[in-house]
Amino acid sequence: MGGLKPDHKTIAEFRRNNKGALKKVLKECAKVCIKLDLIAGNALFVDGTKIRANASRSKTHDQAYYERLMSEIEGRIEQLLEECEGIDQQ
C-alpha cells in the first residue's frame, strides 16, 4: 500500500454508506462467536480489546435464549452505529 491509509472522513463515509452491510457482518460475527463459546453475548466491544466471555463448555442454552441474546446484540449494534453517526455530525 506504500504507506497509504484512509483518513477519518473516509472511514466515516464508508460506514455511513454501508450501514446495512455492516449491521449484517457484525450480527453474523456475534453469532459465530456465541456458537464457538467465545463470548456469552453479555458484552460486545467493537474496535477494542476487551471481550467478556464465558469459557465454560458445560453451559448450554435453548433456542429462545439465543434469539433473545441476538435481539439484544442487534440493539447494541444499532446503538453503536447511531453513536458513531452522532459523533460524525459533531
H/E segment holding residue 20: helix 19-35
Grid coordinates belonging to 32: 459465530
Cell of 31: 453469532
pLDDT tens across 3-47, in order?
Answer: 888 888 888 889 889 999 999 998 888 888 888 888 776 665 556
For residues 52 and 43, the answer to whether their CB atoms sit within 8 Å is yes
Would the pTM of this model clear 0.75, i.e. be above it? Answer: no
Q: Where are the domains of the chain?
A: 8-85
> Residue 1 half-sphere exposure, CB side, CA atoms within 13 Å?
4
- Residue range 4-13, pLDDT digits in tens: 888 888 888 8
Look-up of cell digits 454508506? 17
